[in-house]
Amino acid sequence: MTEAVAGPITLRELQDIPVERLKGVGDKKQAALKEVGVSSVLDLLTTYPRRFVDRTDEARISDLVPGQEALVLVTVRSVTKRTMRNRRTMVEAKVGDGSGSMHVVFFNQPWRERQLREGLQVALFGKAELFRGGQQMTNPIVDLIGDRTGKIVPIYPQSEKAQLSTWEIAGWVENALERCALRGFEDPVPFEVRRELGLIDRGRAMRQIHMPQTMGEKEQARRRLAFDELLRVQMVLVMRKRAFEREQRGIRHDMSGDLVRRFHAALPYPLTGAQSRAIAEIESDLAGPHPMHRLLQGDVGAGKTVVAVSALLCAVQGGHQGALMAPTEVLAEQHAAGIRQLLDGLRVPADNLFGERQLNVALLTNRVTGQERRDVMAGLADGTVDIAIGTHALIQEGVAFHSLGVVVVDEQHRFGVEQRAALRTKGSNDAVPDVLVMTATPIPRTAAMTVYGDLDVSVLDEMPPGRTPIVTHWANGPLMELAAWGDVRTAVAAGQQAYVVCPLIDESEKLEVASAQETFERLVHQDLKGLRIGLLHGRLPSADKEQVMGAFRRRELDVLVATTVIEVGVDVPNATVMVILDADRFGIAQLHQLRGRVGRGQAASLCWLVTAQLEGTSPRVEALVGSTDGFELAEIDLELRGEGTLMNTMQKGRSDLRIASLRRDRELVALARSVAFGIVDADPMLVRNQPLLDELGLLLSAQDEEFLFKS
């Protein structure tokens, strides 16, 4: 071995050492480890304990409080197995510690009989209950401690199936750490940064996460290792952001015209402070040399449309074109209708004898065909179309723009790096158009930094004035549902209107339409008999859809029964009541979006969330009842669903978060981001920090890697 001359050990070296090189890992264990995703020493060392038992402060049986969850460290005294009348098995164990004894029962886990041998030390985590005068736990989580010593015992994720126990893993980890001790761990975080943030070095963190002497040591280690994970993610995002800025030539938009100013002056209301701020941020990006990559976040009803249209008009004003891309054709059509209305009467200078002409807004979706389509395409190519509205088809091959200056993307999910690349070809003279991504899904700040960390962010955190908060009720079961219909009638009697949202059926649009039809019939003939009711769903031809929406807007209908097609873009301030059926089938964000369709006028608004009679509570429904603040709801959503879901749905390949949590580590996310900026701005290609560059390549997804090594 060359250990004496080699420098500190790197993560890549650890990745290159197969786990079977460790003492005690034979063929059988190697296969078992592989099954849980551990093949290298690095995999093993980053298999962090999922819990720690503090022997100095352990809960004893005598301290258990019935009804409360607790952890106890006990010895197994006896085990019996029985088969009950319904053929289910019950394994019963008697366990004890110095303070007393208790019963533990397991239903339908016959293998527990073999697992829990007499004399074995186990940690049990579960809810204590009183049974026949004694303490008992039913189906607790069991961790075998084996003969591990030490005050703090780490408990590793173990696999019954793979036959791996926590003490075996602990033993191998210890062996690996011992063998690393001589060289120590390479630490890519500069010393000054560590000192400033109070972070321990990596080697110490590795030891302390696996073999802490105190819970405080474990916390220190966790913070350091979480920081590493977050820093890697931020490094990639920040490097990508800076690379865009470096490599892409943008359009310096000419801001001297008065089109945007005239647009604002013609609005029937003043801009909110938040709108003005966002518009100023966008204008400063547009005037600058780099292409804009900005995210506009704002709750439903915060007034994003005006901001987006302002950005598009900046392009038009400077002699370029603007495009708005919606995720679906229906939404594109709705946007087109809304924006045409908003821009009605706005005139632009024309290069002909007439001096001025009406601004030309064109819709381009797959439903625009034949001569109409040819006309739109020609207008895009010769520049007579000022603003194009459509789906992603707009930026695909074959669509030529005269000079595309600004692109607004509504809803971020489907606009990734590849789409941005497609934009390169759409500007003039190879300049890349500016991009504004608009989302109505509030994302907690730190999550946004992680998921959209390569974008700049503007937030509309202020609602237009004069909104009355929406009061939300939960109708739990058919009896309470009657109250909802009562409120609909009251609102209609007062000259107002209502929405009824039909149950969401994920699996099939056809079923969803059928159920909407059914709901419609029921309301017409029973609950809302006598009112003027319209039906809107995704399978209607667009002319019919437009006709129904128009009738509702003109108040020729009292109630609009709809599937979730109304989720975005419908704006009828006279609608004050919303009834959402089977509300517990929707996610928090979606309910919040739907609810945002009311509460848009001066009158007080109501939302009823109807569910079948539920026994317990419905956390999502209760969240909606408790709050109308989209950002607060987003935090709750993150809490309920876990960040895994968020990361999965929003971005592929952010799988590196093993110990960091976007919920717990908010402060660290922001710190990691600012450290990443510091590092990248001083050393854009990381030539002076090879270890860090190497780790980014090693641990981030293929997609990120490709980016790193391409530049």
Which of the choices ligand ADP, Mg ion, none does residue 121 contact, using the CB cut-off of 5 to 8 A by kind? none
- Select 302 or 676, whichever has its Cβ closest to ligand ADP: 302
269 binds, among ligand ADP, Mg ion, none (CB under 5 to 8 A by kind): ligand ADP
* Cα–Cα distance measured from residue 83 to residue 110, given in angstroms and rounded to the nearest whole number: 9
CB of residue 595 to ligand ADP, shortest distance in Å: 12
The CA distances from residue 158 to 42, 122, 137, 167, 318, in Å, are 17, 13, 21, 9, 63
49 is in the binding site of which of ligand ADP, Mg ion, none (Cβ under 5 to 8 A by kind)?
Answer: none
3-state class of 131 per DSSP? strand
Measured distance CA(227)–CA(198) in Å, rounded: 11
Q: State the minimum distance, in angstroms, from the CB of residue 521 to Mg ion.
A: 31
Q: Which of 305/689 has CB closer to Mg ion? A: 305
298 is in the binding site of which of Mg ion, ligand ADP, none (Cβ under 5 to 8 A by kind)? ligand ADP
What tokens appear for 45 in the block? 């060392």
**Which one of Mg ion, ligand ADP, none is in contact with 301 (Cβ closer than 5 to 8 A by kind)?**
ligand ADP
Q: Which is nearer to ligand ADP, 102 or 302 (CB)?
A: 302
The Cα 368–Cα 211 span in angstroms is 66
Q: Indicate the helix (H) or strand (E) that contains 74.
A: strand 69-83
DSSP secondary structure code for residue 393 in this structure: G
Cβ 572 to ligand ADP shortest distance, Å? 9
Cβ atoms < 10 Å from Cβ of 399: 18
Which of ligand ADP, Mg ion, none binds 673 (CB below 5-8 Å, type-dependent)?
none
> Looking at beta carbons only, is 208 or 305 nearer to Mg ion?
305
Cα–Cα distance for residue pair 230/669, rounded to 1 Å:
6
Which structure tokens are listed for 126?
């579960």
Site string for Mg ion, 128-147 (x = CB under 5 A): --------------------
Q: How many CB atoms lie within 10 A of CB 255?
A: 13
Choose from Mg ion, ligand ADP, none: what does 220 bind? Cβ within 5-8 Å by kind: none
Indicate the residue type of 230.
L
In the range 641-680, which residues lie near Mg ion by CB under 5 A?
none
* Burial (CB count within 10 angstroms: exposed 0-12, middle 13-18, buried 19+), residue 195: exposed
**Helix locations, 270-416, DSSP H:** 273-287, 304-317, 329-342, 370-382
Of 61, 79, 84, 81, the C-alpha closest to 130 is 61
> Looking at beta carbons only, is 438 or 561 nearer to ligand ADP?
438
Residue 555: CB minimum distance to ligand ADP, A: 16
Which residue number, 273 or 349, has a Cβ lying nearer to ligand ADP? Answer: 273
Min. distance of Cβ 312 from ligand ADP in angstroms? 13
Cα 623 to Cα 335: distance, rounded to the nearest angstrom: 30
Distance CA(130)–CA(65), nearest Å, equals 9
Q: Measured from the CB of residue 536, what is the shortest distance to Mg ion in angstroms?
A: 18
State in angstroms the smallest separation of the CB of 306 from ligand ADP: 5
Neighbouring CB atoms inside 10 A of 250's CB total 21
271 interface partner picked from ligand ADP, Mg ion, none, CB below 5 to 8 A per type: ligand ADP
Is residue 308 within 8 A of residue 278, CB to CB? The reply is: no
Greatest Cα pair distance in the chain: 100
Query: What's the min distance (Å) between Cβ of 300 and ligand ADP?
Result: 4
Contact partner, 676, from ligand ADP, Mg ion, none, Cβ < 5-8 Å per class: none
How far is residue 450 from each of residues 348, 444, 598, measured CA to CA in Å?
41, 10, 32
Nearer to ligand ADP, 137 or 570 (CB): 570
Chain residue whose CB lies nearest Mg ion? 305
Closest Cα to residue 165, out of 33, 38, 46?
33
Q: Which residue, 28 or 554, has its beta carbon nearer to ligand ADP?
A: 554
Determine contact, residues 36/156, Cβ cutoff 8 Å: no
Residue 208 binds which one of Mg ion, ligand ADP, none, with CB within 5 to 8 A depending on kind? Answer: none
In sequence order, what DSSP letters do the residues of 397-429 get, joined into one string? TT---S-EEEEEEESSTT--HHHHHHHTTTSST
Q: What are phi and psi of 203, to 5 degrees?
A: -60, -45
Interface contacts to ligand ADP, rule CB under 6 A: 269, 271-272, 275, 298, 300-306, 440, 464, 571, 600
Site for Mg ion in 257-276 (CB under 5 A): none
With respect to ligand ADP, which residue has the nearer C-beta, 92 or 283?
A: 283
291 vs 599, beta carbon nearer ligand ADP:
599
Output the smallest distance, CB 513 to ligand ADP, in A. Answer: 26
Q: What is the DSSP letter of 517?
A: H
Closest distance to ligand ADP from the beta carbon of 308 (Å): 8
Nearest-approach distance from CB 662 to ligand ADP, in angstroms: 25
CB of 69 to Mg ion, least distance (A): 44
> What is the spatial distance between Cα 294 and Cα 415, in angstroms, rounded to a whole number?
12
Q: How many C-beta neighbours within 10 Å does residue 149 have?
A: 7
Q: How many Cα neighbours within 13 Å face the side chain of 408?
A: 29
What DSSP element (H or E) covers 521? helix 509-522
Cβ nearer to Mg ion, comparing 10 with 564? 564
> Binding partner of residue 592 among ligand ADP, Mg ion, none, CB under 5 to 8 Å per kind?
none
Q: Could you tell me if residue 495 is left (phi over 0), alpha (psi between -120 and 50 degrees) or otherwise beta? A: left
312 vs 440 by CB, closer to ligand ADP: 440
Residues 280-339 that bind Mg ion (CB under 5 A): 305
CB nearer ligand ADP, residue 107 or residue 269: 269
Q: Which does 476 bind (CB under 5 to 8 A by kind): Mg ion, ligand ADP, none?
A: none
Rounded to the nearest whole angstrom, what is the least distance from the CB of residue 298 to ligand ADP in the complex? 5
Under 8 Å between Cβ of 434 and 251: yes
- 432, interface contact from Mg ion, ligand ADP, none, CB < 5-8 Å by kind: none
Q: Could you tell me which of 246, 240, 202 has the C-alpha nearest to residue 224? A: 202
Structure-token pair, residue 430? 């190879």
Q: Which does 545 bind (CB under 5 to 8 A by kind): ligand ADP, Mg ion, none?
A: none
Residue 604 CB, shortest distance to ligand ADP, in Å, is 17
Enter the DSSP assignment of 527: I
If the CB atoms of residues 327 and 464 are measured against ligand ADP, the closer one turns out to be 464
**Total residues contacting Mg ion (rule CB under 5 A)?**
1
Query: Residue 297 or 305: which CB sits closer to Mg ion?
Result: 305
Under rule CB under 5 A, which residues in 368-427 are in contact with Mg ion? Answer: none
Residue 635 C-beta: closest distance to ligand ADP, Å: 20
Q: Which amino acid would we find at residue 135? A: Q
Pick from ligand ADP, Mg ion, none: which does 498 bind, CB < 5 to 8 A by kind?
Answer: none
For Mg ion, the binding residues (CB under 5 A) are: 305
